[in-house]
Chain A
Amino acid sequence: MSTQEHVEEHVHRDDIRSRMGMWLFLFSELLLFGGLFLIYSVYRFMHPHAFSIASKEMNTFFGTMNTIILLTSSLTMALAIAAIQRGKKILSICLQITTILFGAAFMVNKFLEWSAEFREGNFPGSAVLQSKPQGQILYFGLYYSMVGLHGIHVLVGMTVIAFMLRFTIKGVINKDNYVKLEAAGLYWHLVDIIWIFLFPLFYLIT
C-alpha cells in the first residue's frame, strides 16, 4: 500500500483515468460494431427466410468451439491480472501465454472454417454465391465483414497481450503497476463480448 502511495507522489500516474481512457476507446469500438449490428438487424428483418437458410450452411461445431475457446481465454486473461496483483509473476506470464495460445487456436479454427466455406464456393463474388437469392448474398457479405473484423480484433488483441508479456517479463508490469495489463484485458474482454453476440446471430438462427 505504501509503495503505491510513494509512486503516486513522485511519478504522475493515475490508474483510474488510464482505465477510463481505455473504456472511452472501447465505446468507439462499440460504435464500430454497433453500426454493423444495425445493418445486420435491418437486412435480417428484410430477408428473414434467406438468412435462416444461409445460416444453416454455417458450421455450428466451429462456432461453438470458438465460443468456448474465447470464453476460456477471457478467464485466463482475468486470472493473469489477479496473479500479478498478488505478485505472482511467473503464473501471470504463463496465463498470458495461454491467453495468446487460445487466441491463436481461435484463428486456426477460423481458418479451417473459412477454408471449408471457400471450398463450397461461399465466398464474396463467387459464381455459387452470386446465383443465390439476394438475402443470402447479404448474409454472407455480413458474415465475412463482421466475423472478419472481429478476427482482426483477435489478432490485434494477441499482439497487445504479447507486448504486455514482454513488459511483465521485464518487470515494467509488476505487483504495483499493472494498469497496462488491465487495459489489455479490457480490450480482450470486449472482443469476447462481440463474439458472444456474433455467435448466436450467425450460427444459431433458425
Chain B
Amino acid sequence: MEKNITHKEHTHSYSIYFLVWLALITLTGLTAAVAGINFGKLSVVVAIVIAMAKSYLVLTEFMHLKMEQKAFKVFVFVALLFLTISFTLLFTDYSFYVR
C-alpha cells in the first residue's frame, strides 16, 4: 500500500516533458548535422553515443524510470548489460576475422 501511495505522489510535470522533447529534437538535429562531417571510423561511435543519450532521456523521463523503485533500474541495467556482453563477445571473435 505504501508503494502505491508513493507512486501517486509522483504526478508528472508537463514542462519537464516539453524540455525533454526539445532536447531530443536538438540531438536529432545534431546527429543529422554531424553525419555530414567525416569522422572516419568515429562517425558510427558519435551516432551511437547520441542515440544512447536520446534513449537515456526517453527511459528516465518518458518511461518514468527515474521515479520507479530500484528493482526496475536494476532490471534494465542487467538487460542492457547482457546485450553489451553479447556485442562484446561477438566482436572479440569478428575483430580477428580476416576479410
In the bound assembly, the distance between CA atoms of A192 and B24 in angstroms comes to 11
- A42's partner among B3, B18, B62, B90 (CB-CB below 8 A) is B90
Could you say which of A65-73, A112-120, A146-154, A161-169 contacts chain B?
A65-73
Most chain A beta-carbon neighbours within 10 Å: one of B61, B64, B72: B64
Whether the Cβ atoms of A38 and B69 lie closer than 8 Å is no
What residue in chain A is nearest B64 (Cβ atoms)?
A182
Q: Is A98 close to B, CB under 8 A?
A: no
Q: Which A residues touch B63, using CB under 8 A?
A: 185-186, 189-190
Secondary structure at the B interface, as helix, strand, loop or mixed, is helix
Q: Is A133 close to B, CB under 8 A?
A: no
What residue in chain B is nearest A44 (Cβ atoms)?
B44
0/1 interface trace, chain A 189-206, chain B, CB 8 Å (1 if under)? 110110011011100111
Q: Is B92 close to A, CB under 8 A?
A: no
Q: Which A residues touch B44, using CB under 8 A?
A: 205
Q: How far is the CB of B71 from chain A (nearest CB, A)?
A: 7
In the bound assembly, the distance between CA atoms of A78 and B72 in angstroms comes to 19
Whether the Cβ atoms of B62 and A189 lie closer than 8 Å is yes
Q: A38-B87, A86-B11 are in contact. Are A196 and B43 (CB under 8 A)?
A: no
Whether the Cβ atoms of B32 and A85 lie closer than 8 Å is no
Q: Which A residues touch B91, using CB under 8 A?
A: 41, 45
Whether the Cβ atoms of B14 and A79 lie closer than 8 Å is yes
Q: How far is the CB of B58 from chain A (nearest CB, A)?
A: 5
In the bound assembly, the distance between CA atoms of A108 and B54 in angstroms comes to 24
0/1 interface trace, chain B 5-47, chain A, CB 8 Å (1 if under)? 1011001111001101100110010011001001000011001
Whether the Cβ atoms of A68 and B25 lie closer than 8 Å is yes
Whether the Cβ atoms of A193 and B24 lie closer than 8 Å is no
What residue in chain B is nearest A42 (Cβ atoms)?
B94
Q: Is A127 close to B, CB under 8 A?
A: no
Q: Contact residues of A with B, CB < 8 Å?
A: 1, 4-5, 8-9, 14-16, 19-20, 23-24, 27, 30, 34, 38, 41-42, 45-46, 60, 64, 67-68, 71-72, 74-75, 77-79, 81-82, 85-86, 182, 185-186, 189-190, 192-193, 196-197, 199-201, 204-206
Q: Which 3 pairs, one residue from A and one from B, show the smallest C-beta to C-beta distance?
A: A200-B47, A204-B35, A75-B21
